[in-house]
Chain A
Amino acid sequence: MTEFKTFPNEESLCEYFSSLGGWTDPEKVVPLKGASAHEVAVGPVHAGVIEPGHFRFQCMGENVYNLQIFLGYQHRGVEDEIVRADGMIARQIALAETCAGDTSAAAAAAFSEIMERAFPARFPEPAPKELALRSLLIELERVANHVGDLGALAGDVAFLQTQAFCGRIRGEYLNMTAHLAGNRFGRGAIVPGGLRVTLSEEKAQELKNWIKRIKPELDRALKLMFDNHTVCDRFDGTGTVSKETARAIGLVGVSRRASEDFNGDVMARALVRRIEIEEAHAKIAALLAGEHPCRGEARHEEKSGEFFAVTSTVPAWRGPLVHAAAFTRDGKMIKYKIIDPSSHNWHGLAWALRGEQISNFPICNKSFNLSYCGVDR
C-alpha cells in the first residue's frame, strides 16, 4: 500500500514526518526504592549472539516491578545515508535492506514501492508476475523468522527437540531464499521497477516440491512442542498483554494479533506465529498457482505543492513496515524515514514483563523477538 501526499512548505513536511512516530529517546532510569527493591542491569552486550540493548529490571524480590529498555546502540544513520545516496539506487536499496537484516526483503519492497510511485516514468509498475515473486520472498522471510523464533522459544524452555528441528528447518528456508534470490536474506533481488531475478518454471516446480517435503517436517516439529504439556504450562499465562493494553500502547503485527485474537501471553504469540506460518504457506501456494497479489489502489495526485512525500506499508513478518520519503518537486530526495514494527512493540515487551519473574524474561523476549537495529536505524 502506498500513499501520496503533497506539502506546501518544508515546515508542514517536517510536522508530518514527526507525526509518523517511532521510538523516542528513552527517559532516564526511574529509581525504585524500598527494602526488597533491587535492580538488574543487562547489556548492551548480551550473553547470546544477538544485538545490543540495555535493560534495567527493577525488581521486588524475584518479581519484576518495571522494565526499562534503552535502545540506540545500533544507531548508524541509515535514513541520512539513504538521503545522501540520492541518485544511487543500488546503494539506497542496499542501505534500506541493512536497516534490519531479518526484514531485508520487505524493506527492499517498501523502498521500491516508494520509488515506483514517486517516479513512475523512470520505474514503471512491475508486472504482476514480478509482484508475485516479491510477495513470495516476503512470505519466505516470514516463515523463516517465525520458525526460528518458535525454535528459540522451545530452546528457552529446554525443549531441545523442537529447537534443533526448527533451527535446521529455518536454515532450509534461508537456503531456498538463496536459491531464488542469490542471497540467504533475499538481498539484492528486489529493485525499483521489478526484480533482478526471475522465477523460472523449473525453479517454481523445485519450490513446490521442496515445500511438499519441508512443510510436513515443520508441522511435525511444531506439533511436538505444542502437544507437550510441560511446554504449554510454561507458555500459558506468561507475559500477558491484555487487549486493552495492546490497543492503548499501540502494538502492531504479531503481538497485536496475539492480544486481539487470544489472551496476549507467550502462548498466544507462539500460536499467532504458527497460524501465520500456515497463512504464509497458503499464500505461497496461491502465488505459485498464478494468483497476483493486490497492491492497493494507486492514487494519482497532482504534484501541486513544492514538496511531495510517498509512504509505503509492507506486511513484514513482525507487522507493518512503513517507509516514507520526501522529495522536492524536481525529484530530489530530502528526507527518508523507516518505521519498523518493533518501534511500537518494545513497549509491549516492557509491559509483558510487569509482575513476572525475571527468569521469564527470555521466553517473553523471544515471543516478541523485536528488532534493535530496525528501531535504532
Chain B
Amino acid sequence: MIKALLARLKEGCRTGAFPPAAPSLPPEFRGRPVIDADTTEEDVRKMKAVCPVEHALAFSNGIASIDMGRCIFCGRCAEASPKIRFTKEYRLGVFRREDLIVKAGEKDYTPPRQTDREARALKGSLHLREVSAGGCAACELDANVLGTPAWDMARFGIRFAASPRHADAIYLTGPVSANMQTALDKTYAAMPEPKFLIAAGACAISGGLYTQGNLPAEPALFIPGCPPHPATTLEALLRFTS
C-alpha cells in the first residue's frame, strides 16, 4: 500500500497543458492540407496517381480540392507535387460535411463555431457511446488514449458511457460493415433524444479506404484523420459543445 502511494506521489501530475495551451505535436504531424491557387489539372493527376484513397483529390471548374473526409493524411501527394502541403493545423473537426473539402487557394482557416443550442447545452457533460463498425481499431485505440492521464478528457465532463441509454451521442468509427448495420441502427435508436452522431476517422465519415454502409443519421460532428490525433479529437469534442 505504502509503495503504491509513494509511486503515485513520484509520478506527479502528467496531464498535458492542452487545452488551453497548444498541444505538443510531433514535427512530422500532418494536419490540415493547403493547396496552391495555381494548381493545374496535371498537378492533381500527379497527386492522384500516388493517393491510396479513391476520390480524395478532385479537379472541377478549374479548382483543385482535397476532401479531408476521405484523406488518410499519408502525405504521399505532398511528395508527388509541391502544390500541396500538410500544415500543423490540428483543429480539423467540423459540423458540416462540405466543410471538410479544402479548395485550392484557401487561406486563413478558422475552425467553425457551434451554433446548435442542443449541442451547446451538453457543455461539461457529454456522454458518448462508442460503436465500432468495421474499422481497424486504430480510431478506438486513439479514443481510449483520451481517457489516460495524459489527456484526461473526463476533466471536461466528456465520458464514454457503457450503454446507449446513457449517451448523448454515438462516437462512430469504421466504415459500417454490412454485419454491423443492424447493431448500429439499433444502438442509435436506443439513445434518448436529443441525440447526435459523431463520425470519427475517414472510414466513419466517407468509408475511407472501404465502401461505406448506411449511417443512421447525418453526423453532427466530423473528425477527420486515420486515425484522428487525440488532440484533434479532444479539440473537436470541446468545440462541439461550446
Tell yes or no: B175 within 8 A of A by CB. Answer: yes
* Contact call B148/A164, Cβ cutoff below 8 A: yes
* Contact call B226/A168, Cβ cutoff below 8 A: no
A residues in contact with B4, CB < 8 Å: 161, 224, 228
Tell yes or no: A121 within 8 A of B by CB. Answer: no
* Contact call B177/A76, Cβ cutoff below 8 A: yes
Partner among B75, B140, B150 whose Cβ is within 8 Å of the Cβ of A171: B150
Partner among B53, B75, B142 whose Cβ is within 8 Å of the Cβ of A188: B75
Tell yes or no: A128 within 8 A of B by CB. Answer: no
A372 to B138 alpha-carbon distance, docked (Å): 12
* Contact call A45/B136, Cβ cutoff below 8 A: no
Interface residues of B in 169-211 (CB under 8 A from A): 171, 174-175, 177-180, 183, 187, 208-211
Tell yes or no: A179 within 8 A of B by CB. Answer: yes
A209 to B54 alpha-carbon distance, docked (Å): 41
Tell me the nearest residue of chain A to B160, going by C-beta: A49
Interface residues of A in 62-88 (CB under 8 A from B): 72-77, 81, 88
Tell me the nearest residue of chain B to A179, going by C-beta: B26
Partner among B129, B141, B160, B211 whose Cβ is within 8 Å of the Cβ of A101: B141
Instruction: Knowing A49-B143, A73-B179 are in contact, say whether A182-B210 is a contact too (CB < 8 A).
Output: no
* Contact call A73/B74, Cβ cutoff below 8 A: no
Size bracket, chain B contacts: 35 or more
A residues in contact with B226, CB < 8 Å: 98, 187
Residues 39-66 of A, flagged 1 when their CB comes within 8 A of B and 0 if not, give 0000011011111100000000000000
Tell me the nearest residue of chain B to A188, going by C-beta: B74
A residues in contact with B179, CB < 8 Å: 44, 72-75
Partner among A81, A170, A174, A373 whose Cβ is within 8 Å of the Cβ of B136: A373
Tell me the nearest residue of chain A to B171, going by C-beta: A49
Tell yes or no: A245 within 8 A of B by CB. Answer: no
* Contact call B28/A90, Cβ cutoff below 8 A: no
A73 to B211 alpha-carbon distance, docked (Å): 15
Tell yes or no: B30 within 8 A of A by CB. Answer: yes
Residues 154-167 of A, flagged 1 when their CB comes within 8 A of B and 0 if not, give 00000001001101
- Give the Cβ gap from A327 to chain B, nearest Cβ, in Å: 21
Tell yes or no: A138 within 8 A of B by CB. Answer: no
A91 to B77 alpha-carbon distance, docked (Å): 13
- Give the Cβ gap from A22 to chain B, nearest Cβ, in Å: 17
Partner among B11, B28, B164, B177 whose Cβ is within 8 Å of the Cβ of A74: B177
A51 to B134 alpha-carbon distance, docked (Å): 8
- Name the residue among B51, B75, B132, B229 with the largest chain A CB count within 10 angstroms: B132
* Contact call B132/A51, Cβ cutoff below 8 A: yes
A residues in contact with B177, CB < 8 Å: 73-76, 376
* Contact call B137/A178, Cβ cutoff below 8 A: no
- Give the Cβ gap from A156 to chain B, nearest Cβ, in Å: 14
B residues in contact with A183, CB < 8 Å: 73-74
Residues 175-196 of A, flagged 1 when their CB comes within 8 A of B and 0 if not, give 1001101111101100000001
- Give the Cβ gap from A302 to chain B, nearest Cβ, in Å: 34
Partner among A44, A91, A100, A224 whose Cβ is within 8 Å of the Cβ of B3: A224
Tell yes or no: A102 within 8 A of B by CB. Answer: yes
* Contact call B137/A51, Cβ cutoff below 8 A: yes
* Contact call B28/A182, Cβ cutoff below 8 A: yes
- Give the Cβ gap from A163 to chain B, nearest Cβ, in Å: 9
A residues in contact with B117, CB < 8 Å: none
Partner among B136, B140, B229 whose Cβ is within 8 Å of the Cβ of A184: B229
- Name the residue among B79, B144, B175 with the largest chain A CB count within 10 angstroms: B144
Tell yes or no: B126 within 8 A of A by CB. Answer: no
A residues in contact with B62, CB < 8 Å: none
B residues in contact with A77, CB < 8 Å: 210
A174 to B131 alpha-carbon distance, docked (Å): 23
A280 to B130 alpha-carbon distance, docked (Å): 32
* Contact call A91/B28, Cβ cutoff below 8 A: no
A residues in contact with B162, CB < 8 Å: 47-48
Instruction: Knowing A167-B150, A171-B150 are in contact, say whether A372-B3 is a contact too (CB < 8 A).
Output: no
* Contact call B137/A371, Cβ cutoff below 8 A: yes
Partner among A48, A52, A90, A98 whose Cβ is within 8 Å of the Cβ of B138: A98
A77 to B177 alpha-carbon distance, docked (Å): 9
* Contact call A101/B138, Cβ cutoff below 8 A: yes
* Contact call B14/A49, Cβ cutoff below 8 A: no
* Contact call B227/A101, Cβ cutoff below 8 A: yes
A residues in contact with B164, CB < 8 Å: 45
* Contact call B136/A94, Cβ cutoff below 8 A: no
Q: Can you name 10 A-B pairs with beta carbons within 8 Å? A: A44-B179, A48-B130, A49-B132, A73-B183, A99-B136, A101-B141, A148-B141, A178-B26, A187-B226, A376-B177
Query: Interface on B for A, CB 8 Å cutoff?
Result: 3-4, 7-8, 10-11, 14, 26-30, 50-53, 72-76, 79, 129-145, 147-151, 160, 162-164, 171, 174-175, 177-180, 183, 187, 208-211, 226-227, 229-230
Which 10 A-B residue pairings sit nearest by Cβ, starting from the closest?
Answer: A101-B138, A167-B148, A101-B136, A47-B162, A94-B52, A182-B28, A188-B74, A98-B136, A91-B52, A90-B52
Q: A90-B50, A164-B11, A182-B28 are in contact. List 4 more A-B contacts (CB 8 A).
A: A49-B132, A49-B143, A81-B209, A97-B136
